[in-house]
Amino acid sequence: MNFGVISTANIGRAAVVPAIRATDHDVLAVASRDPESADAFADAFGVPRAYGSYDELLADDDVDAVYNPLPNALHAEWTKKAADAGLHVLCEKPLAVSADQAREVGDYCAERGVTLMEAFMYRYHPRTERAVEIVREELGDVRSVKAAFQFPMDDPENVRLDSDLAGGSLMDVGCYAVSAARRFLGEPDRAYATTHDAGDYGVDTKLAGVLEYGEGKTAEVSCGFETADAQWYRVEAENGWLEAREAFVPRGEGGVELEYEVGGRHAVETFDPTDQYRLEVEHFAACVEAGRTPHTDADEAVRNMETIDALYESAERGESVEVEGR
């Protein structure tokens, strides 16, 4: 499969393009609104074709699929344009700026018969899959989940701080915490959140939220650009607990651990260094080739955005709100 990459965003440079190259697939083309940036990217990564506009890349008959790492507010527009060109799309998270928009994009791609997958790469890491297995098969009644993803942001010009491009810590990294909470506890009934905007950017630079479930179950999610790097989740059940550090984007070249206790039995499982981006690409390509629905498809993106929408609505209203779809 030949991929085209629209944008020279750092996530493509640092992770996804190398991941594609590590599979049986390849990056045939890259596009940028700045032709010089596209040329420089192509030279750096040995990409055969460079285009000075996204439309030119979409018109390339040799491209089979598009990787879309554009700013959040542009995901929906260019995913739909790729679908118009008959191209399958691996789109960075979040798929859209709201649940309604994610639903619209999903329907649009389905009508055109193209595969659409949201790039939540952590879902494809063996540790995540093992954590889900332990929670499902060994832990009893899960009572709470706590998940956080934060890192310091010191560049006021960073796109993550641009309100016009749907920036903010919840959209950028908090979506991982929400995803993890939902993965272990399911869909919440209500949400409550508070936010802080440290630089008057018009976006949240910090968010703390509580997701409410029946029978007193809860999830606590937090994210931000104001404090030191931290990313983790912890699941607590009647008969034990489970915890992962560096839960979403493992740092360094070493492996990662999954620690848990079930019925008084304590265990630590170690996982060898794994390129979760490569596993993500392989899953996407396999779904395209077999006509299967990806694990992180549009429906999953809609459900994650329903919770994110509720958290933002709660922060604006200053009260707990019902999660759409419940």
For position 63, which CATH number holds? 3.40.50.720
Task: Kindly state the tokens that stand for 141.
Answer: 């009644």
Same domain, 19 and 88: yes
Domain-embedded: residue 288: no
- 179 and 103 share one domain: no
Q: Are residues 83 and 206 in the same domain?
A: no
Residue 191 within any structural domain of the chain = yes
Residue 70 lies in a domain: yes
- Which pLDDT score, from 0 to 100, does residue 326 have? 62
Q: Are residues 50 and 187 located together in one domain of the fold?
A: no
According to DSSP, the residues that pair with 208 across neighbouring strands are 194, 222
Question: CB-based contacts of 139: which residues, under 8 Å, 6+ apart?
Answer: 235, 237, 239, 240, 241, 242, 260, 262
- The answer to the question of residue 35 being in a domain is yes
154 and 105 assigned to the same domain: no
Q: Which residues pair with 110 in a beta bridge?
A: none
Task: Calculate the average pLDDT of the chain.
Answer: 97
Domain extent for 12:
2-119
Residues 133-156 pLDDT 10s: 999 999 989 999 999 999 999 899
- Specify the range with the lowest mean pLDDT, choosing from 60-74, 251-265, 292-306: 251-265
Note whether residue 297 is domain-resident: no
Q: Are residues 216 and 271 in the same domain?
A: yes
The string of pLDDT tens digits covering residues 105-130 is: 999 999 999 999 999 999 999 999 99
CATH code for the domain in which residue 167 is found: 3.30.360.10
State in Å, rounded, how far the first CA of the chain is from the last one: 39
Q: How far apart are CA 200 and CA 156, in angstroms?
A: 10
Question: Same domain, yes or no, for 171 and 310?
Answer: yes
User: Is 0.85 surpassed by the pTM of this model?
Assistant: yes
- Bridge partners, 321 (sequence order): 191
pLDDT at 254 over 90: no
Q: What H or E segment, with its residue span, contains residue 286?
A: helix 276-290
| 168, 193 Cβ separation under 8 angstroms | no
How many distinct structural domains can be found in the chain?
2
d(CA 51, CA 303): 35
Distance CA 117, CA 107 (A): 13
From the list 95, 112, 114, the residue with the least C-alpha distance to 103 is 95
In 3D space, the residue among 89, 100, 91 whose CA is nearest the CA of residue 64 turns out to be 89
Q: Are strands 116-119 and 142-150 parallel, antiparallel or unpaired?
A: unpaired
Instruction: Give the Cα separation of 59 and 95 in Å (integer).
Output: 22
**Percent of the chain residues topping a pLDDT of 90:** 97
Q: Is the pLDDT of residue 195 over 70?
A: yes
Is residue 166 over pLDDT 70? Answer: yes
Write down the H helix ranges in 62-198.
75-84, 99-111, 126-137, 169, 175-185
Give mean pLDDT, residues 26-50: 97
Among residues 102, 119, 136, the one where a domain terminates is 119
Q: How far apart are CA 189 and CA 326, in angstroms?
A: 6
Tokens for 195, please give them: 């936010």
Same domain, 91 and 161: no
Whether residue 61 sits in one domain with residue 33: yes
Last residue of a domain, one of 119, 150, 185: 119
Q: Please indicate, yes or no, if residue 30 is contained in any of the structural domains.
A: yes
Domain final residue, candidates 96, 119, 142? 119
Residues 37-57 have a mean pLDDT of 97
What percent of the chain stands above pLDDT 70?
Answer: 100
Judge if 87 and 129 occupy the same domain: no
Q: Do residue 226 and residue 111 come from a single domain?
A: no
* Shared domain check, 271 and 130: yes
Q: What is the mean pLDDT of residues 248-261?
A: 92
